[in-house]
């Protein structure tokens, strides 16, 4: 494989539209070369983006740690939260001299960017608009997490206590299905479209042993039909979609907006030490592409796209060479977790890559 340093001049002539993304401080290059953000020794000179690619997958093609993506592109904090789009048919080039990745022209010749004085085009990936561009590649495989993005599969205790509830059904019935009426009491806070859920298994913090949230069974959606006319009255809803039969006592939460999936994979902005609370599906262990919840959320600085490293929690054992002392073994790192839905004190994460099974109680912490 040819090294970039030997063909840089040829590429500059043949591909004048190779982009230079916003340049961060010069120490980023040093970090990429000598620190934890290192390129794979067999990284290719370029990668043609195809439909089905993800930012994580492309990063893994070039980098030892895919979460180093923002550093090798020279992205700042705002660009991580509002990422540049990368589209199929574009080419990602590895600039070996400067230790960076660069984006080239789409193969079909379409260009976006500004024309320079010499007539060449300085390209940049497209900035995200208010509506999701379905042609752009996503951070991770979206099909793996879609059911978890807008359904209330985790409900925090405060939300549960304040959630409106179904108090009666039409004509004295107990269960409700599509097009049935449901009578609700509680503060709607001006909302008109709600999801209906049923509280399930309590989730306990492995550190404090306190209940921090509940797994929730998603039952369907309802729309407000008529508000209560008296203080002791009820609001009338129509069941618009029913996954399972609803019943008296089930709770309501507002339908959340669909989140943007293209936050760039990145380490947390502050030191995080979390524990795995549960594995979705009620199983004891999990592997790659499965979902887990952890006992940290927005209050700990987590946001969409945060990458944490998974480690086996170091056990406390007795020192066999000195029976008077207890010792704690070190945490053993074995994988990565992509945080894709964040609540105040709990989050959902997708297991990205592991060399061992994930278990409840394992550590999810800032990458080292």
Q: Strand pairing of 175-176 and 193-204?
A: unpaired
| Same domain (yes/no): 30, 63 | yes
Say if 301 falls within a structural domain: yes
| Same domain (yes/no): 87, 156 | no
Domain boundary among 201, 227, 254: 254
Say if 225 falls within a structural domain: yes
Nearest in space to 50 (alpha carbons), one of 93, 89, 84, 86: 89
Nearest in space to 94 (alpha carbons), one of 138, 135, 41: 41
Burial (CB < 10 A; 0-12, 13-18, 19+), residue 253, is buried
Say if 220 falls within a structural domain: yes
Helices (H), the chain: 4-14, 27-34, 55-62, 69-73, 77-81, 146-150, 157-162
DSSP of 161-203, one letter per residue? HH--EEEEEGGG-SEE-TT-EEEEES--TT--EEEEEEEEEEE
Q: What is the CATH number of the domain that holds 339?
A: 2.40.10.410
Q: Which stretch of DSSP H or E encloses residue 7?
A: helix 4-14
Domain containing 166: what range? 149-254
Say if 142 falls within a structural domain: no
- Tens-place pLDDT, residues 336-351: 999 999 999 999 999 9
- Tens-place pLDDT, residues 313-341: 888 888 888 777 888 888 889 999 999 99
Q: State the distance between the two ends of the chain, measured CA to CA, in whole angstroms.
A: 31
> Which residue carries 């080419």 as its tokens?
91
Say if 209 falls within a structural domain: yes
Nearest in space to 45 (alpha carbons), one of 22, 28, 62: 62
| Same domain (yes/no): 159, 125 | no
Q: Does the pTM exceed 0.85?
A: no
Give me the residues paired with residue 91 across strands: 48, 104
> Which residue carries 């490293």 as its tokens?
309
**SS3 state at 346:** coil
Domain total in the chain: 3
| Same domain (yes/no): 185, 290 | no
Contact 357, 284 (CB under 8 A): no
Nearest in space to 106 (alpha carbons), one of 79, 120, 124: 124
| Same domain (yes/no): 210, 282 | no
The residues near 9 (Cβ < 8 Å, ≥ 6 apart) are: none
Query: Which phi and psi angles does 140 have, rounded to 5°?
Result: -140, 170
pLDDT recorded at residue 18 = 32
The two tokens of residue 367 are: 């990458």
> Which residue carries 């029913």 as its tokens?
242
| Same domain (yes/no): 18, 129 | yes
For residue 286, CA distances in Å to 145, 277, 279, 303 come to 15, 12, 7, 23
pLDDT recorded at residue 152 = 74
| Same domain (yes/no): 10, 83 | yes
Contact 265, 332 (CB under 8 A): no
| Same domain (yes/no): 246, 303 | no
pLDDT recorded at residue 275 = 95
Say if 343 falls within a structural domain: yes
| Same domain (yes/no): 155, 236 | yes
| Same domain (yes/no): 360, 279 | yes
| Same domain (yes/no): 9, 86 | yes
* Regions of the chain short of the pLDDT cut 70: 1-35, 81-84, 105-134, 259-262
Give me the residues paired with residue 359 across strands: 285
| Same domain (yes/no): 217, 304 | no
């Amino acid at each position: 494989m040819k090294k970039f340093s030997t063909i840089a001049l040829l590429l500059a002539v043949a591909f004048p539209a190779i982009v230079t993304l916003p340049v961060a401080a010069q120490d980023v290059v040093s970090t990429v070369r000598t620190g934890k953000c290192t390129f794979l020794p067999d990284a290719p000179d370029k990668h043609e983006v195809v439909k089905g690619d993800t930012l994580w997958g492309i990063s893994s093609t070039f980098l030892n740690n895919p979460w180093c993506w923002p550093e090798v592109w020279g992205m700042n904090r705002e660009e991580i939260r509002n990422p540049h789009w990368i589209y199929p048919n574009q080419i990602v080039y590895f600039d070996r001299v400067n230790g960076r990745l660069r984006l080239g022209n789409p193969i079909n010749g379409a260009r976006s960017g500004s024309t320079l004085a010499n007539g060449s085009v300085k390209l940049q990936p497209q900035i995200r608009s208010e509506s999701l561009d379905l042609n752009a590649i996503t951070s991770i495989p979206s099909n793996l997490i879609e059911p978890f993005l807008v359904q209330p599969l985790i409900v925090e205790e405060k939300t549960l206590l304040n959630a409106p509830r179904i108090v009666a059904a039409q004509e004295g019935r107990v269960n409700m299905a599509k097009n049935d009426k449901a009578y609700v009491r509680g503060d709607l806070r001006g909302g008109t479209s709600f999801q209906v859920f049923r509280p399930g298994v309590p989730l306990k913090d492995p550190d404090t042993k306190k209940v921090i949230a509940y797994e929730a069974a998603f039952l369907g959606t309802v729309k407000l039909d008529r508000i209560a006319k008296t203080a002791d009255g009820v609001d009338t809803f129509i069941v618009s979609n029913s996954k399972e039969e609803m019943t008296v006592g089930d709770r309501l939460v507002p339908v959340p907006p669909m989140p943007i999936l293209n936050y760039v994979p990145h380490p947390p902005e502050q030191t995080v030490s979390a524990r795995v609370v549960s594995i979705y599906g009620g199983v004891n262990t999990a592997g790659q592409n499965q979902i887990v919840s952890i006992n940290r959320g927005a209050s700990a600085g987590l946001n969409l796209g945060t990458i944490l490293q998974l480690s086996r929690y170091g056990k406390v054992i007795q020192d066999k060479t000195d029976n008077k002392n207890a010792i704690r073994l070190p945490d053993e790192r074995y994988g990565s977790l992509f945080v894709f839905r964040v609540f105040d004190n709990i989050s959902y994460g997708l297991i990205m890559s592991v060399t061992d099974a994930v278990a409840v109680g394992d550590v999810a912490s800032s990458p080292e």
